[in-house]
Structure 1
């Protein structure tokens, strides 16, 4: 029986769901939402905070500040509350109400940026606010998940080895791309592993991370409006972009079978199923990462009025295939790109 004294001492890392009964392809979904922060970002948060403590960047007088669309903000709220730091999360209107309320319940301050920048969207506006804040007061310490190597190192040291231990014969790993911390940690680890593992990045249509055109994105968790500084595409074998309508259908299809996951998981599973449809899956071991659970999305991707207003009636058809047409091309270095 685990007995802990700090919230980050507990994190269920070895729970997988085989999605074959739901989608027809065997895909082992690594569930990262069972900890006190409710997402994979707990690993990122503790790695960044403890690294900053070791190098002296964080002191007892410091105020941690971070730009986040949700999950990292909650994770840093948990760590800050546990360690006695003040924390300010800078977010935007796409952050779910439940997420903002959780951060405030944990004692954090939340600042919502209302207007986008012409170049860089909401993220650009958030980063401009954080920079101005840090320039105005030396007590503010920006951990910068977008540039901090501790972001990807958390997953190089923990997430990828966990997958390797659970599935020593893994052939392909599907990882959602946001800041690309999880992606880069996993793909760096498997690049060095003793056997070849294909790492497929899953991104949202409208994200510019891999050079695609910018577009509307309403579901937080994946995608960027600027190129992620942590991204090194030479490690990435393939990229798949997923339409948000397919994200929603996949989330709701999983929910109808009792699995309530967040939006990024719907994107990753939708993209993975599209990839598996196009490949010989006989004797193939495939793993995908589910970053969080779905309770924080009840007023968005699981709320009928919100969905119909943004995506129309068809998005509620959970009997439709979770992935759309898939068109593949060639990226530099022989890596593939696709859209679902």
Structure 2
């Protein structure tokens, strides 16, 4: 095991789970939750902060501020604590209680937006609050994960090469889309180095990222109410939208086999299964998707029967062992 002097130096980057025993597909899951921030967002946060420091944007006395549904906020909270910055995370009422408490444990201030913008949703309201903070104090620095190039560069340099090295005969890469940093970094890398690999984006039903109809979303992580500035659809071969009730079913099915992952993982796996079912009659096709975090921050939501029943109805609690894989997306 390594000896580290800063929490962001540790990150398990070479762990994959073979999902064939569960879903009868050659689908592999890259697990990104084993670091001190608990998610893949550590990579982007680390790169964005490093670039801001190198450019002189961040320095002594700076206050970091970011809009986040959760995981980026935790990663920045950890980095800010380690590097001596004050950090304010602007989130909304969908952010899990465990995530808010984790940020506060690192010393962050957490501001919760309770009213969505009439046309741009909670994300629009969060961004407006961040902009007001920046306008009121010149020492406040918005890293802007939705447009910062470090967001995708982190995955171009780390996530994508790790996948390419482990799977030299990869056919399909399936990436969940939130800020689209992971998607764009991996897609750019494979376009340059392995152009034969199909890149499939997975989005949540109700998200407008790929031009979908806006609608309510209850599980933080994937999907947006404003199209991300990082997104370049020319790097994406296909898009799959997954209903959040199916996200719950996939997560619980994984948990029934001993794998406890967060909501974005259920959405990504559901999208991968749906795409494979529709496009690949050859069940030997090899696909990889990503598990951005683990499941402990979702115990009071998608793993809580009462929350699931109240949010999606009893059907979301039904077992899906007999469901066709293609029904994971609509």
| TM-score (normalizing by structure 2) | 0.97
Paired with 1:203 and 1:41, the residues of 2 have a C-alpha distance of 17
Aligned-pair CA distance for 1:281: 3.5
Q: Is the Cα contact below 8 Å between 1:246 and 1:324 reproduced in 2? A: no
Matches within 5 A, 1:135-146: 135-146=135-146
- Partner secondary structure for residue 27 of structure 1: strand
Matches within 5 A, 1:114-133: 114-133=114-133
- 1:334 corresponds in structure 2 to none
Aligned-pair CA distance for 1:318: 2.1
Paired with 2:69 and 2:79, the residues of 1 have a C-alpha distance of 17
- 2:59 corresponds in structure 1 to 59
- 1:284 corresponds in structure 2 to 285
Aligned-pair CA distance for 1:280: 2.7
Aligned-pair CA distance for 1:128: 0.3
Aligned-pair CA distance for 1:194: 4.2
- 1:15 corresponds in structure 2 to 15
- 1:6–1:322: structure 2 CA closer, same or farther, 3 Å change rule? farther
- 2:262 corresponds in structure 1 to 262
- 1:310 corresponds in structure 2 to 311
- 1:324–1:166: structure 2 CA closer, same or farther, 3 Å change rule? closer
Q: Is the Cα contact below 8 Å between 2:268 and 2:290 reproduced in 1? A: yes
Aligned-pair CA distance for 1:317: 1.1
Paired with 2:177 and 2:54, the residues of 1 have a C-alpha distance of 28
Paired with 1:99 and 1:187, the residues of 2 have a C-alpha distance of 29
- 1:224 corresponds in structure 2 to 224
Aligned-pair CA distance for 1:275: 1.3
- 2:200 corresponds in structure 1 to 200
Aligned-pair CA distance for 1:171: 1.0
**Cα distance per residue 1:3-22 (max 9 Å; x no partner):** 11100111000000010111
Q: Is the Cα contact below 8 Å between 1:70 and 1:96 reproduced in 2? A: yes
- 1:122–1:307: structure 2 CA closer, same or farther, 3 Å change rule? same
* Count of residue correspondences: 328
- 2:323 corresponds in structure 1 to 321
Unaligned runs of 5+ in 1: 327-338
Aligned-pair CA distance for 1:228: 1.0
Aligned-pair CA distance for 1:283: 3.6
Paired with 1:281 and 1:8, the residues of 2 have a C-alpha distance of 41
More deviation in 57-66 or 193-202?
A: 193-202
- 1:215 corresponds in structure 2 to 215
- 1:7–1:252: structure 2 CA closer, same or farther, 3 Å change rule? same
Q: Is the Cα contact below 8 Å between 1:246 and 1:322 reproduced in 2? A: no
Q: Is the Cα contact below 8 Å between 2:116 and 2:124 reproduced in 1? A: yes
- 1:297 corresponds in structure 2 to 298
Aligned-pair CA distance for 1:133: 0.4
Say yes or no: does 1:74 pair with 2:74. Answer: yes
| TM-score (normalizing by structure 1) | 0.94
